[in-house]
Chains A and B, each alone.
Chain A
Amino acid sequence: MTLSSEKTLTKTEAAHLLLQMYQVRAFEEQAEKSYMEGKIHGTMHLSIGQEASAVGSISTLEPTDYIIGHHRGHGLCIAKGADLNLMMAEFYGKETGYCRGRGGSMHIADQAGGNLGANGVVGGGIPMAVGIGIGLKMQGQNRVLLAFFGDGAASTGAFHESMTLAVLFQVPVVFICENNQYAMSFPAHRWTTSERLARSAELYGMPGVAVDGNDLLAVRAAVQLAVDRARSGGGPSLVVNDTYRWRGHSKSDRNRYRTQDEIAEWQAKDPIPRFQNTLIAQGLITEEEARQIREQAYADIEAARQFAEASPEPLLETIEEGVYAP
């Protein structure tokens, strides 16, 4: 495949990205397992199958750049360098979690690490992304924001207003639509396609591109271009990552709106072995190194699980803390 960007991966970078993909996969699997054992309460929205979109996109950022995400954003957090222990503890609702157990899976954030948060409202983060972009421009430090949302959010009024304002104010934001083909049970293809979404950006007045969201390097290349554009004052772009989620919308999803065959078809396009095989083929890593990376990822998640389970619950006396700033 041809990389249209100048940046190529070093061995270290490649290994790191593969590790992150495995960490996302392992994290999601463990979260699912803990949930089924009744140790995690509420619900969760798993991104198994979407690892390339998260890791590939965020691999283009500097540590001082920002991301803002959505409810299916565990992978985004990990790709942005979240501490796995603190993430898992947040899922378990513990005081040691990123949000002191107050946010949980859907509302996780790491302000200090540049992750401005997940959101429980579909499309909730997009208007904020415009404002973050406005603020970044005013602050004049050449930082960019990646604003993630799904095909579900692309139909909202919030999306339309945000595209309009983003172009008006020429914000340094890359809007990334992770089209995983379904808005809960509503098939994206009934109203749009990744191509059409990408073209709609152009109608608003910003560049738009659709890529194979399960090809990490393709995602990385497309997002890199957009990031460079934003950083150099060229304004916003839209990148549509065409991908798929293996699990249901949430834990209660019975998957009645799609077939097992369809799921199997996409599972065959698993982004992790795809990336891994490319790296091995290009001689960046060996089979053995790949195996070790995988093992490391699962070990990291196991450590996170232990940390979370051993962490304390919040104290009842602190129940109302954090509603207002002093």
Chain B
Amino acid sequence: MATKVIMPKVDMDQATGTVVEWLKQDGDSVRAGEPILVIETDKVAIEVEAPATGILRGISAKPGDVIPIATTIAYILEPGEALPADEMPAPAPAAAPPPLEPPSLGGEVLATPVARNVAAGSGLDLGAVAGTGPRGKVTRADVEAALAGRPTAPAGDGRVYATPAARRLAREQNVDLRAVSGSGPKGRVQAADVLATAQAATAAPTPAPMPVAASASLTDLEVIPLQGMRRTIAERMTASYQSIPHITFTVRVDMTRFNEAREQLNAKAQATGGERISATAMIVKAVASTLTRHPFLNASLQGEEIHLRREINVGVAVALDEGLIVPVIRGADRKGVAEIAAEVNDLSTRAREGRLVPSDVSGGTFTVSNLGPFGVEQFTAIINPPQSAILAVGATQLEAIPDEDGHITARPIMRITLSADHRIVDGAVAARFISDLKMVLETPVLLSW
């Protein structure tokens, strides 16, 4: 029976062996265990022994051939035996491995795939770029250097030196990082800088156009550069006012029963040592509760989609020396008014002390701005993107109100004004919300505080 002589595997990582020299020739008698062939792996030679006794025939590999392991390269036959007829001779030795670099085609610029991509993305002609890679190949660095020499389009978000927290907040709050001035080391944009930008847009007085001041001599002017929080507010106000069609609705709220409820709640709070319950806290609670029935007022237009937010996170505008900030009461519909009051107090305090952290001011879905303490009867607020509505709360004052019989009585009246995004909130929707809210405020027993 014919015994195959194979190219053996002798090393751990060996795929081929090279034939160096046949020690026995075709037709020679060989004994099992006798060296018949010298092969080479890793530049070192090793002898291969005959696997059987017989005649060596059918040698199909010559010195210099590189043969994959386990390939048959000869046979040992018994006397008179013929070579196995249906066995093909060993395949031609493996071709030399292809060169690693495809040769550059005539006329085509030699460049790395990355360089090509970057150049194509910027409309740059690769032929105009000097290549510093091997054999003059154009690398990514070469393309970028070429691009840097051109007047650049405005850098995207990736070029702003900002912290990961700042970037995340900018994404969440739809703030353009390029417009945020950074207070961190080397002008790095920190989370607080983004927050200031994000919250600056709310609850400012209506932007009645200021008459252009008559020109005066320069000594009359005090010039304040528009930067930091102020700049941010300016940009945000403009953006909101220009892009969101605001519709506004005012209702007068009779605060008689509301005030009574407030007294009762505060009496209880005092007795149990709880936080003082402010009107603002109660208003936040009432608003949050009402929003559960009017989802489009707790929504946001994002591109082609209206996002109805399940979480009701009510922001409360707090005035600061340098501007405005709006800390957020999360899940206000699920919290009791005592809890809300405590949060409002804590957040206001920390806001004024500059100790708010990112989570305090992010994620708001509706804003309440209360200028009542300043005596303002009524005002219109600008919506705080990406929200779809904002409530401006005026002062509570005694007014002469006729009752059902026409008798004039003095009642405490508060005017609240809703501004809503007309792209997603229709007049009727807004009207239903505000009248529902009025009812809740006038009938506190409807709410569980």
Contacts and interface: CB of A to CB of B under 8 A. Distances in A.
Answer yes or no: A and B touching, Cβ < 8 Å. yes
Contact of A36 (B10, B12, B44, B45): B10
Contacts of A140: none
Contacts of A254: 44-46
Q: In terms of DSSP, what is the predominant structure of the interface of chain A?
A: loop
6 contacts: A35-B9, A37-B8, A37-B70, A42-B12, A43-B11, A252-B12
A136 to B, nearest CB: 37
B69 interface: yes
Q: In terms of DSSP, what is the predominant structure of the interface of chain B?
A: loop
A37 B6 CA distance: 8
B118 to A, nearest CB: 36
A6 to B, nearest CB: 41
Interface in A229-251: 251
A43 B46 contact: no
Interface string A143-179: 0000000000000000000000000000000000000
Contacts of B8: 36-37
Interface in B45-63: 45-46
Contacts of A43: 11-12
A252 to B, nearest CB: 5
Contact of A251 (B6, B12, B45): B12
B10 A251 contact: yes
Contacts of A252: 10-12
A251 B9 CA distance: 8
A38 interface: yes
Given A36-B6, A37-B6, A251 B70 contact: no
A38 B70 contact: yes
Contacts of B11: 43, 251-252
Nearest to A256: B44
Contacts of A38: 9, 69-70
Contacts of B45: 254
Interface residues of A, number: 10
Nearest to B45: A254
A36 B72 CA distance: 12
Interface in A199-256: 251-252, 254
Interface in B1-31: 6, 8-12
Contacts of B12: 41-43, 251-252
Interface in A1-46: 35-38, 41-43
Given A37-B69, A38-B9, A251-B11, 9 more contacts: A36-B6, A36-B9, A36-B69, A36-B70, A37-B6, A38-B70, A251-B12, A252-B12, A254-B46
Interface string A35-68: 1111001110000000000000000000000000
A108 B45 CA distance: 31
A37 B14 CA distance: 11
Question: Which of A36, A251, A254 has most chain B Cβ within 10 Å?
Answer: A36
A119 B69 CA distance: 28
A37 B10 contact: no
A261 B343 CA distance: 94
A51 to B, nearest CB: 18
A59 B183 CA distance: 81
A121 B185 CA distance: 53
Contacts of A42: 12
B126 to A, nearest CB: 42
Contacts of B69: 36-38
Interface in B104-155: none
Interface in B33-47: 44-46
Contacts of B6: 36-37
Contacts of B10: 36, 251-252
A254 B42 CA distance: 12
A221 B339 CA distance: 88
The 3 closest A-B pairs by CB, nearest first: A36-B8, A38-B70, A38-B69
Contacts of A35: 9
Contacts of A37: 6, 8-9, 69-70
A259 B143 CA distance: 63
Contacts of B9: 35-38, 251
A37 B10 CA distance: 10
A131 B70 CA distance: 45
A38 B15 CA distance: 9
Contacts of B44: 254
Contacts of A36: 6, 8-10, 69-70
Interface string A252-268: 10100000000000000
Nearest to A41: B12
B43 to A, nearest CB: 12
A266 B345 CA distance: 95
Nearest to B69: A38
B70 to A, nearest CB: 5
B44 to A, nearest CB: 6
A152 B8 CA distance: 28
Nearest to A36: B8
A35 B70 CA distance: 10
A324 B45 CA distance: 44
